[in-house]
Structure 1
Amino acid sequence: MHVPTTTPVLIVGGGPVGLTLSILLSRYGVDHLLAEARPGTSRHPKARGISARSMEVFRRCGLEEAVRDAGLPASQVFFYRGRDLVDPDFVRDGVPHEASEGAGNTPSPGMICSQDALEPVLSGRARASAGDRVRFGTRLLSFTQDEEGVSTELEDRADGERRTVRAGWLVGCDGAASTVRAGAGVRMDGPTGLGHFLSVRFEAPLGGVVADRASASYFLTPPGRGGFMAVDNDRHWIYQYPFDPEDPRGDEDLGDRKHLEDLVRTAAGIPGLDVTVRDTMIWRMDAQLASGYRAGRVLLAGDAAHVIPPTGGHGMNTGIGDVDNLAWKLAAVATGRATEALLDSYEAERRPVARQVIDLSTDNARARAGYRIDDELLLTAAYRSTAVVPDPAAPARPPLDPSGYHPSGAPGVRAPHARLAGPSGISSTLDLVGPGFTLITASQDPAWQQQADAAAAAGVPVTVRRLGGGQLSEEHPGSFHQLCGLPPSGAVLVRPDGHIAWRASSPATGPDLLRILRRVLTGAPWTTATSP
């Protein structure tokens, strides 16, 4: 097993969350090692819905087109409800995302791409960037930590060879049964067993059956049970069958292929359907949140930090949001631009979001087929932490706003999307966000560039992006600053994850840029006396 003996960051877990973290760390120039116990990417579709916010992350990494090519066409992003697949009284809701691409609140609307199709795309990019530092078939056996780092023991599952790797930071992206979380002594709080399901991956010639009702998900109403998840809306499908393992009346053999084929035929409403079962997976619906996201030099992300009911499609997406938040902070600490205290803002910002997502998804589970899937919910995330400069003019906001996305320039929120007319390859203000801090302004005042130059001279590069008057022209001049609630002389300082760290109405407003950046990167608390 050819692995390094030391690494700044060790990622444990190579699902969508761990692979996205690897891609982001490579983008920030941070050396790292990823260890995944499985021999390869997932064969089961598992998670399928990719929200607008996750697509924006993939867009920033240059992966949006590849992910879209791997998923369902936008014209099929509907949600079907009926007694079975041939119910003449079916209803279908949802709006095809192709109708709004590039418009509205995001340049990157959500889509359906099952995990078995997504992971190869992410793995390919991660390997292209990090090479053999992305290692499948490698298991974490144990670890110990001290003030300087984490000593881990890894095992190559093919030949049993073991190696000790010393990491500056260990990030657990290893799922609900996280070895990293258990080793760090972090507990999970919340109910388990909210439901039990059998997922049956099968092949059947259903493309013609659903041609007039093609959807991403097919929820079955009574007397139907469970629902169908489209993999390709043709031959490849998942049937999710709910069951009660404690029901003494249950006499079903969930391992019998003929019985499973009959379950699929009954649910589809087609007695003679030709069904071939490929594999099955039994899973339990839980709603749990880790008591903490950081324990010394160990951090948790994705299902290792929160287990979210799938009713709403926010589980994987919340995990992708975790690592988008964490990656730039790890990079800043690893390169010496920030103190370790910056990492405390990770839990402060992401744990409240997960708490609210869990609650909303649990409510959806109780509502059964009556809930609404909100593609833009995670766009509304608003952070409060030492990595965000408080703005007395900004109203207090919950972590998420279920009422809908409302563009704003308030510190802590995602920078709003405004359409740009050029140059080529840049069509949204979100495309201006780089791997470092970005200052976006419409002002031609040289003071903004002077402040950015002073920050760069002190070791904190800031890229100034000026809207209007040059190459960066808005389709609707002034729209970005209007959305941000700023005059043209103002600016917003955008973090590498696309969230606003600070806004000012002019270069002369409050402290200079370098002072703001130093306080953000050192994790010093903002008080009335120190706030701008």
Structure 2
Amino acid sequence: MQPPTTPVTTTPVLIVGGGPVGLTLSILLSAQGVDHLLVEARTDTSPHPKARGISARSMEIFRRCGLEAAIRELALPASQVSFYRGRNLVDPDFVRTGVAADRSGADPVDGPEHTPSPGLVCSQDLLEPLLLRRARELSADRIRLGVRLLSFEQAADQGAGPGVRAVLRDRDGGEPYPVTADWLIGCDGAASTVRTGAGLAMAGPTDLRHFLSIRFDAPLGAVVADRASTSYFLTPPGLGGFLAIDNDRRWIYQYPFDPGRPGPHEDLTDHRRLADLVRSMAGLPELDVTIRSTMTWRMDAQLATAYRRGRVLLAGDAAHVTPPTGGHGMNTGIGDADNLAWKLAAVTAGRGTPALLDSFQAERRPLARQVIELSSENAQARAGGYRMDDELLLTAVYRSGAVIAEEGFEDRGQQTQGAAARPPLEPTGYRPSGAPGHRLPHARLGGPAGVGSTLDLVGPGFVLLTARDDPAWRQQADAAAAGGHPVTVHALDGGPLREAVPGTVGELCDLPAAGAVLVRPDGHIGWRAARPSRPGELLDVLRRILGS
């Protein structure tokens, strides 16, 4: 139910789109203390489990939002995160591969510990209501479902003052009404109204494949008890597969079709025919099937030519459409929200200049391009298969004006020379590093309740992690705060915080005893220093990062 609302005529940030990306952005903006308005044309969350794989990096973001435990309660057990191949669901000669099968059912946290928050499988129809509830808890009257963006225009002067005048209308009737915003963020999907209105184009192939997605209920829990998996791919290739929502009664069947040929995709209201298709592909002619919903979709691989035009920015599928083979589409969008939220907070508060928002495209667009390429290669290799690679998204390295490059800093195993030419992702695996642009490495900590990892120290502002409690670094932080840029200092030398294994952070970040790393609110390292050098150095670094 939509909570009571009051008229909104102006807002610093207007978010269009209330899917996982828009709702995550709303939650993160609220954590940063940024007033905003989110509008979504739908009157409720998505009933269809579109995306399911949530990567470790996304789970780290949700951990910071206080949502990790609730999401894990809704997820499939880690022992079921594997992949089935067979002629049908009852094939005695099936093959089961993937995380659970290869690791004897072990939870991913038992492997090399690069994260406190392993990835999981939780369908979008379960995730979205959780995100909506949290967004409303933090900013109840600023989350408006059933509200459509009709049009918008940007002010000719993109300097100070509101930059966008949008026209909205409630779906239940009423006259259109204007809302002015400093910034408009399009999180409204592949057919983005915001992207079109801003005159931004998409480039890349479309119509790679077409699928009919059938959401249905059927008592399959006992059938798959000895082969429970995340995804059930049917052989020979071309028959599609089943996607588990709960590995009991709730399922999706993905049927690949040729739009130029007749088939069950032609009449989505013919539930009897669709149920017969499910029974046939499952290999269970007497299966009790109830069709809940259907949708058709096409596989595209497209990237927006730009993520920003003036006061308008794009995130999620509005900026990049990724083949689902890899499970990276929603996760890339969640990463967009995390990258963008703190930058919007800095700009709207006057701590950063609008130039800071240029780093959003510089950091996220190259990553999306590589994710699209990897997912497209995966689609060709696996003939429509599905794979979620948690480690891949942990390797993202940012290079932009919001990262201070190093000169002459020794970094074991991570050469910085020629870094600009390297792609942001390293598909061969994650390697921890304290170099600027890298995600802060995870290390186990002891201390206050709720702080079990270095990643729990991230945000909502900048954080300075020091190897020891050095008065010189405290003085640097005091000078930064006096200059309008507060920084929280955490020393890891056995004070209130302590490392589970002493020296871990220093080793992972390659820090000498007098060193420090400056961590941005999104968990990426903005600067690293071997020692404090001159008065006001930290303040100068923050000003450079923020473009001020």
Normalising by structure 1, we get a TM-score of 0.95
Q: Is the 8 A contact 1:84 1:224 kept in 2?
A: no
Q: Does 1:84 align with 2:109?
A: no
Q: Is the 8 A contact 2:152 2:197 kept in 1?
A: yes
Q: Does 1:280 align with 2:305?
A: no
Note the C-alpha offset of 1:3: 2.8
SS at match of 1:492: strand
Relative to structure 1, is the Cα distance of residues 519 and 74 closer, same or farther in structure 2, using a 3 angstrom cutoff? Answer: same
Relative to structure 1, is the Cα distance of residues 208 and 511 closer, same or farther in structure 2, using a 3 angstrom cutoff? Answer: same
SS at match of 1:25: helix
Q: Does 1:400 align with 2:425?
A: yes
Q: Does 1:260 align with 2:274?
A: yes
Query: Any idea what the Cα deviations from partners look like across 1:335-358, whole Å, max 9, x if unmatched?
Result: 000001000000000000000000
Note the C-alpha offset of 1:159: 2.2
Q: Is the 8 A contact 1:173 1:302 kept in 2?
A: yes
Q: Is the 8 A contact 1:137 1:157 kept in 2?
A: yes
2: distance between equivalents of 1:457 and 1:405?
38
Q: Does 1:31 align with 2:42?
A: no
The residue type paired with residue 40 of structure 1 is: D
The residue type paired with residue 398 of structure 2 is: Y
1: distance between equivalents of 2:490 and 2:106?
29
SS at match of 2:144: strand
2: distance between equivalents of 1:251 and 1:108?
41
Q: Is the 8 A contact 2:469 2:493 kept in 1?
A: no
Q: Tell me what 1:529 maps to.
A: none
SS at match of 1:430: helix
Query: Any idea what the Cα deviations from partners look like across 1:136-159, whole Å, max 9, x if unmatched?
Result: 000000000012410000001012
Q: Does 1:421 align with 2:430?
A: no
1: distance between equivalents of 2:390 and 2:264?
39
Note the C-alpha offset of 1:372: 5.0
Query: Any idea what the Cα deviations from partners look like across 1:270-319, whole Å, max 9, x if unmatched?
Result: 11111111110000000000000000000000000000000000000000
Q: Tell me what 2:249 maps to.
A: 235
Q: Tell me what 1:435 maps to.
A: 460
2: distance between equivalents of 1:279 and 1:415?
42
SS at match of 1:431: helix
2: distance between equivalents of 1:268 and 1:352?
40
SS at match of 2:59: helix
SS at match of 1:506: coil
Gaps of 5+ in 2: 410-414
Note the C-alpha offset of 1:76: 1.5
2: distance between equivalents of 1:492 and 1:224?
50
1: distance between equivalents of 2:43 and 2:266?
29
Relative to structure 1, is the Cα distance of residues 388 and 252 closer, same or farther in structure 2, using a 3 angstrom cutoff? Answer: closer
Q: Does 1:100 align with 2:108?
A: yes
- Quote the sequence identity (%): 69
Q: Is the 8 A contact 1:261 1:275 kept in 2?
A: yes
Query: Which runs of structure 2 are paired with 1:11-50 in the superposition (5 Å)?
Result: 11-50=15-54
Q: Tell me what 2:513 maps to.
A: 488
The residue type paired with residue 401 of structure 1 is: E
Note the C-alpha offset of 1:512: 1.2
SS at match of 2:394: helix
Q: Does 1:4 align with 2:8?
A: yes
1: distance between equivalents of 2:534 and 2:429?
31
Q: Is the 8 A contact 2:265 2:296 kept in 1?
A: no
Q: Is the 8 A contact 1:254 1:260 kept in 2?
A: no
Gaps of 5+ in 1: 524-532
SS at match of 2:365: helix
**Does 485-494 or 507-516 show the bigger shift?**
507-516
Relative to structure 1, is the Cα distance of residues 285 and 54 closer, same or farther in structure 2, using a 3 angstrom cutoff? Answer: same
2: distance between equivalents of 1:492 and 1:519?
15
- Pairing partner for 1:182 from 178, 183, 196: 196
Q: Tell me what 2:343 maps to.
A: 329
Q: Is the 8 A contact 1:83 1:224 kept in 2?
A: no
Relative to structure 1, is the Cα distance of residues 51 and 509 closer, same or farther in structure 2, using a 3 angstrom cutoff? Answer: farther
Q: Tell me what 1:349 maps to.
A: 363
Task: State the aligned residue count.
Answer: 522
Relative to structure 1, is the Cα distance of residues 6 and 136 closer, same or farther in structure 2, using a 3 angstrom cutoff? Answer: same
1: distance between equivalents of 2:245 and 2:117?
21
